[in-house]
Structure 1
């Protein structure tokens, strides 16, 4: 029986290979939530160290030192200081980048001086060798006083040795040396001794942190007051102590590096990464290449997804036909076919596109190109009140606005962070993809220029670009209204270029598809079933009148063609007099100027739960109205108004796409904005400005076309 009681915290500098190692150790046994009380991503996973020992891994946010500034750095800091009430790791798995060892050793040495059980995983050894860096691992182990294991998560090298060392450390088979990396006691000897009198378990270095940051730890009032007294009594200066500590650490690190690391002459030949950056970050070609990359991204969504989507659509039309032939004509079969099956079709048909979008975004992140997009965009971002760090949340917004808004916490400047949060929902998230796909297929011809450029792909790219441009315009306007004065700096570490890890890409695609089917799917199915009820039933007076009228007509002698026509009119009139029909008709005057009918009006209302519900709504409404075996696209193509004109014309289709592009139709996003800003004021502003902008732009597009 495996023990599941062991807890291991993963810590390290950003871009040190921490996520790669976490993914290799845990595989698909991962969960993403939030740390208690804060909106910071909490990734946990399960790994098997041997046949009898299992462990829970907690991936702490990346940080450069034990002096936190951002919300995510505070999360990692509190866990390491044993000040987090819920997360108490047994072992610290410390990730250090061998190709950038001097910088990584600062954080390593600080954590080692806290005297927790520590194992160091040395990543990027292959890159270090390419740079001509040679490391004496055993010598480094002696200097640090903790085990050091070289690993390569991408090639699965060193993982077995790492697991073995973690297991030995857990069983206390490795006893860390008692010396400190630097003489911490000498930094404030008397003050440290007095703090250790209150908290005997603290190391000298941990006691210094209690003197500096005790206000942020959950200590009782008496202990807080005692530490304040110690600070005053010994004239403890936090800034001076911190500066002295860092200076001493770098002096010792210099000695350690000299004894255990052979580095090449800095004037030696440039790395491949630097040559590539000369092209990809060029002031002209860099932007041209960026546009080509984005163009290929959106073309690929159509090129690659077309066949699996057609196959899913065909399968569901065959399933619907089989169920119609096999099941009796009763209410529960109607619910099953026109509620459940229609809703399921609306979910599964878009899984291929969502998987492809997330797969391609993961490839961009894995290769290191995503960070270059931030770098290229900084100059433009500053002009509209943002900075280069805003690009990552905004690009993440192409996937989903909820984690994208949460990732804006990496932006230190409060004004830039707030602006990023307010405009990120304008980026076209994957929930809009099903809406765009079906509308583009309906109103844009499937033509190709030069045999390869899809017009539908170009329209899709145009929508994504329009969302981005509108986000920049809105940010430029809002920067004059948000009165927060704070200096802003953009410091970004560019990771080296690497081949994408296809296993990681595959895992991400499967995970995102699973999240879409389970999370969005629940809402779509629920609303599909609710809509089936609202569109199948209505006020008894109205429904009885329709029943009576068509019962008489159907009793008369009719041809097969006229019976089919009367049945279609009956279903249509029944739908109009249902609860859903009454609601749609009530809002029709407000949306008629945009080119929409009452059915689209119902979809707009249900989409406020989640945008992707649009397709499920349409599937249910048209299935209730026309119980034939045609696909949703065919039903929407044949949809006509009362005067016989087509519903889905080019102006109406473009207008609807623009509405879905700009409107705030996502309850989850509003909830997360409230949580991040700690106020209902900003989500309310977001809802009003985005809905108003969507209405005005849709009106404009409809009348232009």
Structure 2
């Protein structure tokens, strides 16, 4: 069996590269980081033909081989650096046939690196709708590399692509025999000297070493010294050479386009996507439609998830009651039912909502509408000193702040990137969803406004919009302190509208559910067990007098009487209050009571700093430990609805519920986010600023909301 080969997928953004990656690898994929940088590394394995397996590396999209952002530098390093672990044996360039001229610039640069190349032309259907016909055989002759038409979304052309990969692996296709342009003539003395210092490089690769010598880490000290001397000797002007190179490439591309591309409709009739954009990007109706889409998204989270959530919640309640009745009454049963099982139920009930949220977001991305959201909000971004490129990290923050903050690396302006990093965690991420859902179901009535608008869905949408507008407001304030002198521009290519790939939607839903269960679930269960211990035990100086007191009182009444039951409930409640968890909760209660929070919520505020989802697991554990075993059939919502202050007032009123949701909307309750901010900014200063300002903002806003509604 032949050893696996490395295949790199490269191409312009929105060219169909990710679709081809999914078509080749299926579910055999993983996401990690490229060594040394916080840039996503998507890799997967593909069975090309029997006996030939390939490692597929999906490199970040780029328009040119001259990098500007961290993403583009990763692609550049993989293609230029001979020591890179991912150096490809073969490159597949995914090119958009409907924008062939622009895509051919990048194709020509890759071809001149003298690595075996296959060009996969996507969007051929769009090109035909534009009245563009491409002579594939002629294009192949002109470029000197194989060209194949593919539609990875429908798996068309993928089998033919695999045949060509197999032939390339057998040596039937090698690097292009001739340069796309005469690279050696651009700076011949320089490239000749560099090829002596760094053997094995093509003329074009040598030219890139001359341009970027200071940034190339694979060069050793003697090589850098020799290259520096060469550049000084020949007075190398990299700006002039780059400009000359691009001009020559476009002149050659112009010739290729004339001989291989026929435009049967020079006016290029307006495509369906452009007609739809006239409405969806309208200066007024575009924003109205955006709000409607957002409302439908959040309303669907309640509507579609209500039935499976009820089944899961009821099932865990029945299971807890049954296990309590059949298992022996000892500490092992107690920790299993009130620790482990309560923790699992705390996050399992929200799996349907997590899956639905990510499924709907994937549909918006697949159809091309998510990019339009970025375009619509660009004007607002510019008003607060940001750029349209800040929109995508903010939108990504709805899923999770960690990858969203990593996505800011595409923002070239360092100060704009810093402000975006600092405000992104204000976006309501999926970790807040369980808290929102639980509190909305607890304090917001399920009724309709005007007969069609669900109040709970409106509140959910309001929380997400609140996070967005607060991020914009804080960005405007930071603009006054972080002076931005550089001028930046937002240029974005809008993808065509397409039907969602339902297989991709389903795969994403399953994968996100797995991540939620394995990552958040493990943390929640571990903290639930620790909490069970802290809530079940306490200092002997407090617990022993409590046991003695209630033993005498319970012994004085009949075992099956209502009085005995009342005493047992009072004993469990006081035991929880005197436990280690209770002592901790009561210690912080004076600080949080003005917000409408009791000591149990205080404990949850502390534990959920590990991960916001832990809030629900914490409440499940605390209310299980403090309850009579006969009450284990009750759901968490029922237990929380019955919670009372010592004076008999309900804990979870409308004011307290809104206060808690506002607190979690703005508070920095996530260690992972602080860690990634430290990694991205290379300092603890920024995460500490973030922690302080978000906590203060959450406290003040929560205090105001509670006092308004109480």
CA drift at 1:389: 1.4
Q: Show CA shifts across 1:238-279 (max 9, x none).
A: 111100000000000011111111124442421111111111
CA drift at 1:87: 1.9
Which residue in the other structure is 1:201 paired with?
A: 200
CA drift at 1:450: 4.0
Matches within 5 A, 1:348-497: 348-497=348-497
In the alignment of these two chains, the number of paired residues is 704
| Residue in structure 2 matching 1:652, options 656, 661, 665 | 656
Measured in 2, the distance between the counterparts of 1:684 and 1:112 equals 47
Q: Show CA shifts across 1:46-102 (max 9, x none).
A: 111122121111111000011000011000001111255322221111111111111
Verify: 1:697 aligned to 2:670, yes or no.
Answer: no
Is residue 3–residue 55 contact of structure 1 (8 Å, CA) maintained in 2?
A: no
Is residue 78–residue 84 contact of structure 1 (8 Å, CA) maintained in 2?
A: no
Verify: 1:29 aligned to 2:12, yes or no.
Answer: no
- Are residues 66 and 216 of structure 1, via their aligned partners in 2, closer, same or farther at CA, if it must alter by over 3 Å? same
SS at match of 2:219: coil
Q: Show CA shifts across 1:6-65 (max 9, x none).
A: 211111000000011111111111111111111111111111112212111111100001
CA drift at 1:5: 2.9
Which runs of 5 or more structure 2 residues have no equivalent in the other structure? Answer: none
Which residue in the other structure is 2:614 paired with?
A: 613
CA drift at 1:168: 1.7
Is residue 414–residue 486 contact of structure 1 (8 Å, CA) maintained in 2?
A: no
SS at match of 1:337: helix
Is residue 273–residue 496 contact of structure 2 (8 Å, CA) maintained in 1?
A: yes
Measured in 2, the distance between the counterparts of 1:51 and 1:571 equals 65
Is residue 115–residue 175 contact of structure 2 (8 Å, CA) maintained in 1?
A: no
Q: Show CA shifts across 1:479-503 (max 9, x none).
A: 1011342111111111111111111
Is residue 132–residue 265 contact of structure 2 (8 Å, CA) maintained in 1?
A: no
Which residue in the other structure is 2:586 paired with?
A: 585
CA drift at 1:320: 0.7
CA drift at 1:564: 2.0
Which residue in the other structure is 1:604 paired with?
A: 605
Which residue in the other structure is 2:157 paired with?
A: 158
Structure 1 stretch displaced more, 310-319 or 160-169: 160-169
Measured in 2, the distance between the counterparts of 1:527 and 1:255 equals 66
SS at match of 1:303: helix
CA drift at 1:556: 2.1
Which residue in the other structure is 2:64 paired with?
A: 65
Is residue 79–residue 87 contact of structure 1 (8 Å, CA) maintained in 2?
A: yes
Which runs of 5 or more structure 1 residues have no equivalent in the other structure? Answer: none
Measured in 2, the distance between the counterparts of 1:560 and 1:334 equals 24
Which residue in the other structure is 1:216 paired with?
A: 215
SS at match of 2:7: strand
Which residue in the other structure is 2:678 paired with?
A: 674
Is residue 575–residue 625 contact of structure 1 (8 Å, CA) maintained in 2?
A: yes
| Residue in structure 2 matching 1:635, options 633, 636, 639 | 639
Measured in 2, the distance between the counterparts of 1:408 and 1:83 equals 28
CA drift at 1:107: 0.4
Is residue 116–residue 176 contact of structure 2 (8 Å, CA) maintained in 1?
A: no
TM-score w.r.t. the length of structure 1 is 0.98
Q: Show CA shifts across 1:461-511 (max 9, x none).
A: 111111111111111111101134211111111111111111111111111
SS at match of 1:121: strand
Is residue 131–residue 266 contact of structure 2 (8 Å, CA) maintained in 1?
A: no
- Are residues 304 and 4 of structure 1, via their aligned partners in 2, closer, same or farther at CA, if it must alter by over 3 Å? farther
- Are residues 84 and 351 of structure 1, via their aligned partners in 2, closer, same or farther at CA, if it must alter by over 3 Å? farther
- Are residues 319 and 200 of structure 1, via their aligned partners in 2, closer, same or farther at CA, if it must alter by over 3 Å? same
Q: Show CA shifts across 1:87-125 (max 9, x none).
A: 222111111111111100000010000000111111111
SS at match of 2:430: coil
CA drift at 1:374: 1.1
Which residue in the other structure is 1:513 paired with?
A: 513
CA drift at 1:566: 1.4
SS at match of 1:282: coil
Measured in 2, the distance between the counterparts of 1:268 and 1:237 equals 40
CA drift at 1:3: 5.2
Measured in 2, the distance between the counterparts of 1:402 and 1:125 equals 36
Which residue in the other structure is 2:79 paired with?
A: 80
Q: Show CA shifts across 1:138-178 (max 9, x none).
A: 11111111111211111111111111211221221223442
SS at match of 1:431: helix
Which residue in the other structure is 2:626 paired with?
A: 625
Measured in 1, the distance between the counterparts of 2:357 and 2:30 equals 21
Measured in 2, the distance between the counterparts of 1:151 and 1:519 equals 37
Measured in 1, the distance between the counterparts of 2:562 and 2:148 equals 78
Measured in 2, the distance between the counterparts of 1:395 and 1:266 equals 38
Which residue in the other structure is 2:182 paired with?
A: 183
Measured in 2, the distance between the counterparts of 1:560 and 1:320 equals 24
Measured in 2, the distance between the counterparts of 1:36 and 1:647 equals 49
SS at match of 1:10: strand
Measured in 2, the distance between the counterparts of 1:317 and 1:443 equals 21
Measured in 1, the distance between the counterparts of 2:368 and 2:585 equals 48
Verify: 1:291 aligned to 2:291, yes or no.
Answer: yes
Measured in 2, the distance between the counterparts of 1:567 and 1:138 equals 85
Measured in 2, the distance between the counterparts of 1:264 and 1:618 equals 67
Structure 1 stretch displaced more, 316-325 or 600-609: 316-325
SS at match of 1:480: helix
